[in-house]
Amino acid sequence: MNDNTAAVSEIKRLLGESLPLAYVRSFGCQLNVSDGEKIKGLLRKMGYGFTEDESEADLIILNTCAVRENAEDRVFGIVGSMKKLKELKPSLIIGITGCMTAQSHVAEKIRQSYPQVDFVLGTSAISGLPKLLLGCLNGERFAVDISEYDDFSEEAEQVRESSFKASVPIMFGCNNFCTYCIVPYVRGRERSRRPEDIISEVAGLVRSGYKEIMLLGQNVNSYGSDLGGDMSFPQLLRRLNEIEGDFLIRFMSSHPKDASSELIDAIFECDKVAKHLHLPVQSGSDEILHRMNRRYTAEKYLGIADEIYRHDPDFSLTTDIIVGFPDESEEDFQATLDIMERVKFDNIYSFIYSKRTGTKAAEMADGVTDEEKSRRMRRLLELQRGISTEHYKRFIGKRMRVLVDDVSKKREGFVTGKSSEFIIVELEGSSSLIGSFVDVEITDAMNWAVIGKII
Ligand code: 5AD
Ligand code: SF4
């Protein structure tokens, strides 16, 4: 028995029949959400049940994100407000996990300013949770474990939120060091999971009825480069595509510098792989891309988009864009608007640049005011609204296969889902369709969704 299983058994014994409740909230990217599901997997083993209501929780875990400052501020705000909960229930245990904790200045701030926090657990150190928790249950005041990642944490079982959509991390960490990004500092270097583990996990999920598998990694295109070259990401896609069953394969994120023709061919040759690629461009200016250390040019990016549209003009591309990188000029920004107009993304996720202590960009001079950055953001969003409105019309009269995932919040008697292209589709139908694929014909388009009729 290792330390971890011993601590799990000890907690189980301590908790007895009491069925305490845990509230676990994850912020940020899907990898973090999947870490949150692993934390829940461990807690379940220890005898915890779960609640969505923090006021009835015996244990609160905030699984944090450090990518932008506003995500951190939100967590500090929430932790602050939890002081009251602790006063009402002194036995309440509060823990902070995730990327914020991997920055020593943040861990120190938590220790000094938020005495209501009982423990801090580092990203990728999830397997340390039972020991920390045991210490807290035994009355230890402030415990910290921000040790390096370990295999157990990465292979831990997830308690999945959905019964038909599953995320499957295929690799952890990042080697790219984009100059604005904190991820390589808080999640370490790239580590790929073994292909046989991924394939058997996906096969198991499909056997138990999952319809959508989302493969996750900071840059899935470099999957396998640390495994001695036996399996590349396109090869992994082909292997997963051979698994029997009716299911859809998605993946994110892809780095444009590694988006090869081999990848594009695999996407089009694998019938289970979605007709959608999320390919973060970040900026349309070669000067800014260079200073971001992205290692591609706008032309190279446009070449990838062209190659994809040659295969299928209806294919869907989405992207991430950073507005207001240090000293971004009006011309640089205009180049971003230009690339948006040329590629015609179906959707963009745009962020105002946020300075992250410890990154290279944090040292760069920045003469652009906050007002100007906000103004650029509004211009960018307005342009995208127009592009989506026009571009979504290409689907009218066409067929789409939709995985229904919820009832519509906008229309009575409608449900909503995502097409293979990752477009939101609203269609008339009852909640009994949730979790199944339906074929629809598209009758109308808006700038955020299309309307379909079941065929
Ligand atoms: N400021 C703003 N956006 C950022 N992103 C990453 N780091 C920062 C930062 N410091 C964005 C990038 C990335 C997405 C996940 O978050 O666009 O693709
Ligand atoms: Fe951050 Fe760049 Fe790595 Fe993405 S590829 S996680 S933006 S460093």
pLDDT in tens, 48-98: 999 999 999 999 999 999 999 999 999 999 999 999 999 999 999 999 999
How far does residue 177's CA lie from ligand 2's centre (Å)?
Answer: 6
* Per-residue pLDDT at 334: 98
CB atoms within 10 A of CB 77: 10
More confident residue, 157 or 414: 414
- Cβ(302)–Cβ(310) below 8 Å: no
Residue 1 has pLDDT above 50, yes or no: no
How far does residue 337's CA lie from ligand 2's centre (Å)?
Answer: 22
Read off the pLDDT band of 356 (50, 70, 90). very high
* Per-residue pLDDT at 237: 98
| Closest alpha carbon to 301 in 316, 322, 286, 323 | 286
- The predicted model gives 252-271 an average pLDDT of 97
How far does residue 128's CA lie from ligand 2's centre (Å)?
Answer: 26
- Least confident span in 114-123, 261-270, 276-285: 114-123
Atom nearest to 356 CA in ligand 1: 10
Burial 250-278 (b: 16+ CB within 10 A, else e): bbbbbbbbbbeeebbebbeebebbbbbbb
φ, ψ dihedrals at 260, nearest 5°: -95, 170
| C-beta 149 within 6 A of ligand 1 | no
Read off the pLDDT band of 148 (50, 70, 90). low
As for ligand 2, residues whose beta carbon falls within 6 Å of it are 174, 176-178, 181, 183-184, 218-219, 255
* Per-residue pLDDT at 262: 97
pLDDT in tens, 17-47: 888 999 999 999 999 999 999 999 999 999 9
Beta strands across the sheet bearing 165-169 = 165-169, 212-216, 248-252
| Closest alpha carbon to 78 in 95, 103, 99, 102 | 95
Residue in this structure with the two tokens 């694998």, named with its chain if needed: 270
- Cβ(237)–Cβ(249) below 8 Å: yes
* Probe residue for ligand 2, chosen from 178, 252, 320, 353 as the CB with the greatest number of ligand atoms within 8 Å: 178
Read off the pLDDT band of 154 (50, 70, 90). low
- Cβ(220)–Cβ(191) below 8 Å: no
| C-beta 320 within 6 A of ligand 1 | yes
- Supply the pTM of this predicted model: 0.94
* Probe residue for ligand 1, chosen from 176, 328, 351 as the CB with the greatest number of ligand atoms within 8 Å: 351
For residue 437, give every residue at least 6 positions away whose Cβ sits within 8 Å of its Cβ, in sequence order, or none: 211, 246, 401, 402, 403, 404
* Per-residue pLDDT at 401: 97
| C-beta 68 within 6 A of ligand 1 | yes
How far does residue 56's CA lie from ligand 1's centre (Å)?
Answer: 35
- Cβ(454)–Cβ(427) below 8 Å: yes
| C-beta 273 within 6 A of ligand 1 | no
